[in-house]
């Protein structure tokens, strides 16, 4: 029983780590001050944001480090990288030291790399301590990464709400302090003990309660962050947020609610197995076998012996016939179409599959735009005369990103009653992005800015959290580590391209703004980002269209997988 309690302590530790290491999301809160101190253009400021995202390109180094060093050393390596990366930037922005632009760029790169190392540590801890419910553990901890900016804003308001450079100091110190706090349960990590079926169900209850508590945390941050009108109330609110993060420590004591939960809630929610990654290896094998058996009986035969022996094989395009069958739309939907979920894809198979590129475009033109929007939020607010509301907007984006991440697990909780392909949920999640961007292009009011920011956060948060599941389902759960890292290469690419274009438009309208003492242009007016919002909106429509094509192409594979799963449950 002590081992079971220690694993929940580790989960709480990973929640704390994730909650305070999403430091890239508060970049917009201090970016204007950094731009002014360095005397750089908007294009150069964009390169600093790109540098942070470039850390994802080198994220594989954390996995390599774990092969040779214990997990606690990797944790502290991440903490010290962030301490140096953000600490040096704080010294620069406060004029303690003066560094050339390239050195500040490298500090941003180091800080971004630290985030990837923190994420890897949390993922490994979740997988090793919750093998039966690893997906639920991952979805929960990933969600808290989206609330970091809101927590840092509360800490900022509680200490000195007139000093934007304080964000950099907090980014450097808090993850280091959290690492020292989390090291105790990590060092006392229990040995692996297989759980009986009753234990798996009990853990599922705990995860449901933790998700409810996480939702309350998000509501608290969203509703009360703007109420911190003075230092006393700000400190009380920050203390309340910390209390909500400490409450999960009580979760082992909730085991006594197991019998009540089984009688009331468990019959309404299907929580067995994974709630985050839909594909289970055993279910996939059964799914393949049932499909092979059904193929001999179905009149619209989709699978044959050759497909079963070579499951990566795709549905071929029919020979030329009538005009309808050879239409471009039909080829778009059927060429290289997936037949089965969860088939492992090598690197070459992944890159040669059309579904991957539809998925890549959907992510590139959806979630990545949301991330670049958050990086530019400080300048967007400044250009619209809303500089005083920048921290509120950062918290708004962070909170709704958090809710979007939590909502990404909802399809699995309700799949016993309402089943819909996860690629379809991806298309739905992309819909708020063009709505938000065209709203921002059509109106420069404070309310439009707040609504647009909330929609962008909600959409991008869902996409970020759901992407791991989609990658594992479409291209194989065992290859998800490599394949997903290939997918998210679109983030630094998009950060560079989208941010560079936005910066060019911003600087081109510099004549409508003013210059600071350091000669950095401050653009004022709707024109600073109008064309950017229009272009981003058009690209997000392209991403939405790509996600719809992906859904149409994969819908049949999802339906057949769900039918096989239901049939296996009936037979058992």
Residue at 320 is within a domain: no
Nearest to 275 by CA among 355, 163, 218, 200: 200
User: Do 430 and 562 fall within a single domain?
Assistant: yes
Q: How many domains does the chain have?
A: 2
Q: What is the pLDDT of residue 518?
A: 47
Q: Which pLDDT band, with edges at 50, 70 and 90, does 303 fall under?
A: very low
User: Do 495 and 356 fall within a single domain?
Assistant: yes
Mean predicted confidence (pLDDT) in 104-127: 87
Two tokens, residue 420 = 């819909």
Q: Which pLDDT band, with edges at 50, 70 and 90, does 191 fall under?
A: low
* Top-confidence residue, 272 or 164: 164
**How far is Cα 404 from Cα 399, in angstroms, rounded to an integer?**
9
Residue 126, H or E segment: helix 101-129
Give yes or no for a contact between 29 and 153, defined as CB atoms under 8 angstroms apart: yes
User: Do 83 and 232 fall within a single domain?
Assistant: yes
Q: Which pLDDT band, with edges at 50, 70 and 90, does 144 fall under?
A: confident
Angle between the 166-187 and 148-159 helix axes, to the nearest 10 degrees? Answer: 120
**How far is Cα 100 from Cα 63, in angstroms, rounded to an integer?**
32
- How far is the CA of 206 from the CAs of 154, 253, 271, in angstroms? 28, 10, 11
* Top-confidence residue, 363 or 53: 363
Mean predicted confidence (pLDDT) in 530-539: 93
Residue at 254 is within a domain: yes
Q: What is the pLDDT of residue 432?
A: 94
Mean predicted confidence (pLDDT) in 261-272: 51
pLDDT at 262 over 80: no
Residues constituting the chain? 572
Give the CA angle between residues 239, 245, 250 to the nearest 5°: 115
Tell me the per-residue pLDDT of 29-69, one tens digit each, with 9 for 90 and over.
888 888 888 888 878 888 888 888 777 777 667 777 888 88
Q: What is the pLDDT of residue 519?
A: 53
User: Do 237 and 355 fall within a single domain?
Assistant: no
Residue at 294 is within a domain: no
Q: What is the pLDDT of residue 253?
A: 57
DSSP summary character for residue 512:
G
Nearest to 182 by CA among 223, 103, 100, 125: 125
Residue at 52 is within a domain: yes
**How far is Cα 175 from Cα 377, in angstroms, rounded to an integer?**
24
Residue at 295 is within a domain: no
Where among 209, 234, 262 does a domain terminate? 262
- Supply the mean pLDDT for the chain: 78
User: Do 15 and 112 fall within a single domain?
Assistant: yes
Mean predicted confidence (pLDDT) in 217-226: 77
- Lowest-confidence range among 126-135, 339-348, 506-515? 506-515
Give yes or no for a contact between 32 and 378, defined as CB atoms under 8 angstroms apart: yes
Give yes or no for a contact between 93 and 105, defined as CB atoms under 8 angstroms apart: no
Residue at 69 is within a domain: yes
pLDDT at 490 over 50: yes
- Please report, for the domain that includes residue 468, its CATH number: 1.20.1250.20
Q: Which pLDDT band, with edges at 50, 70 and 90, does 547 fall under?
A: very high
pLDDT at 241 over 60: yes
**How far is Cα 406 from Cα 231, in angstroms, rounded to an integer?**
31
Mean predicted confidence (pLDDT) in 295-324: 40
Give yes or no for a contact between 172 and 90, defined as CB atoms under 8 angstroms apart: yes
User: Do 150 and 243 fall within a single domain?
Assistant: yes
Where among 229, 262, 295 does a domain terminate? 262
Q: What is the pLDDT of residue 62?
A: 77
Residue at 124 is within a domain: yes
**Domain around 531:** 344-571
- Lowest-confidence range among 70-79, 280-289, 403-412? 280-289
Where among 216, 243, 262 does a domain terminate? 262
User: Do 216 and 358 fall within a single domain?
Assistant: no
DSSP 3-state assignment of 510? helix
Most confident range, picked from 50-59, 201-210, 242-251, 477-486: 242-251
Q: What is the pLDDT of residue 398?
A: 83
Mean predicted confidence (pLDDT) in 226-248: 81
- Lowest-confidence range among 21-35, 210-224, 304-318? 304-318
* Top-confidence residue, 331 or 237: 237
Tell me the per-residue pLDDT of 492-508, one tens digit each, with 9 for 90 and over.
888 889 988 888 888 88
Tell me the per-residue pLDDT of 427-454, one tens digit each, with 9 for 90 and over.
999 999 999 999 999 988 889 999 999 9
Tell me the per-residue pLDDT of 324-362, one tens digit each, with 9 for 90 and over.
545 666 666 667 677 777 778 777 888 888 889 999 999
Residue at 328 is within a domain: no
Q: What is the pLDDT of residue 309?
A: 38
């Amino acid at each position: 029983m002590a081992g079971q309690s220690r694993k929940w302590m580790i989960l709480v530790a990973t929640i704390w780590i994730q909650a305070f290491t999403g430091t890239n999301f508060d970049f917009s809160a201090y970016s204007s001050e950094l731009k002014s101190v360095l005397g750089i253009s908007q294009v150069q400021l964009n390169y600093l944001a790109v540098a942070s995202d470039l850390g994802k390109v080198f994220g594989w180094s954390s996995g390599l480090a774990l092969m040779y060093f214990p997990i606690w050393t990797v944790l502290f390596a991440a903490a010290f990288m962030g301490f140096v990366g953000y600490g040096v930037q704080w010294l620069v922005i406060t004029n303690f030291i003066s560094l050339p632009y390239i050195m500040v760029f490298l500090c941003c790169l180091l800080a971004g790399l630290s985030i990837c190392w923190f994420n890897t540590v949390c993922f490994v801890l979740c997988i090793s301590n919750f093998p039966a419910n690893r997906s639920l553990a991952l979805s929960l901890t990933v969600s808290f990464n989206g609330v970091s900016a809101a927590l840092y804003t509360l800490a900022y308001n509680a200490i000195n709400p007139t000093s934007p450079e304080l964000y950099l100091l907090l980014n450097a110190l808090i993850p280091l302090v959290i690492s020292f706090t989390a090291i105790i349960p990590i060092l006392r990590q229990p040995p692996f003990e297989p759980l009986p079926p009753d234990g798996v169900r009990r853990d599922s209850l705990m995860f449901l309660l933790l998700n409810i508590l996480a939702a309350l945390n998000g509501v608290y941050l969203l509703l009360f962050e703007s109420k911190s009108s003075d230092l006393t109330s700000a400190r009380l609110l920050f203390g309340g947020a910390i209390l909500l993060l400490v409450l999960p420590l009580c979760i082992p004591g909730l085991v006594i609610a197991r019998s009540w939960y089984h009688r009331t809630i468990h019959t309404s929610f299907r929580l067995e197995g994974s709630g985050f990654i839909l594909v289970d290896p055993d279910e996939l094998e059964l799914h393949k076998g049932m499909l092979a058996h059904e193929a001999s009986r179905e009149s619209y035969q989709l699978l044959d012996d050759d497909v079963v022996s070579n499951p990566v094989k795709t549905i071929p395009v029919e020979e030329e016939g009538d005009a309808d069958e050879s239409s471009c739309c039909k080829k778009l939907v059927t060429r290289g179409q997936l037949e089965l979920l969860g088939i492992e894809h090598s690197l070459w198979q992944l890159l040669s599959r059309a579904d991957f590129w539809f998925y890549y475009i959907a992510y590139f033109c959806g979630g990545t735009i949301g991330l670049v929007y958050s990086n530019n939020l400080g300048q967007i607010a400044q250009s619209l005369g809303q500089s005083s509301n920048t921290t509120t907007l950062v918290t708004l984006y962070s909170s709704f990103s958090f809710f979007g991440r939590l909502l990404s697990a909802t399809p699995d909780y309700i799949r016993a009653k309402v089943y819909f392909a996860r690629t379809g949920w991806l298309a739905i999640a992309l819909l708020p992005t063009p709505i938000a961007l065209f709203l921002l292009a059509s109106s420069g009011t404070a309310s439009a800015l707040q609504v647009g920011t909330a929609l962008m956060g909600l959409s991008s948060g869902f996409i970020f959290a759901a992407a791991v599941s989609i990658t594992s389902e479409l291209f194989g759960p065992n290859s998800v580590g490599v394949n997903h890292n290939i997918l998210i290469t679109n983030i630094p690419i998009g950060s560079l391209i989208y941010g560079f274009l936005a910066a060019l438009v911003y600087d081109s309208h510099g004549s409508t703004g003013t210059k600071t003492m350091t000669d950095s242009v401050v653009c004022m007016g709707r024109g600073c980002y109008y064309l950017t919002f229009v272009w981003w909106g058009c690209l997000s429509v392209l991403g939405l269209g790509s996600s719809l094509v992906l859904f149409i192409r994969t819908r049949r594979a999802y339906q057949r997988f769900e039918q096989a799963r239901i049939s296996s449950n009936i037979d058992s």
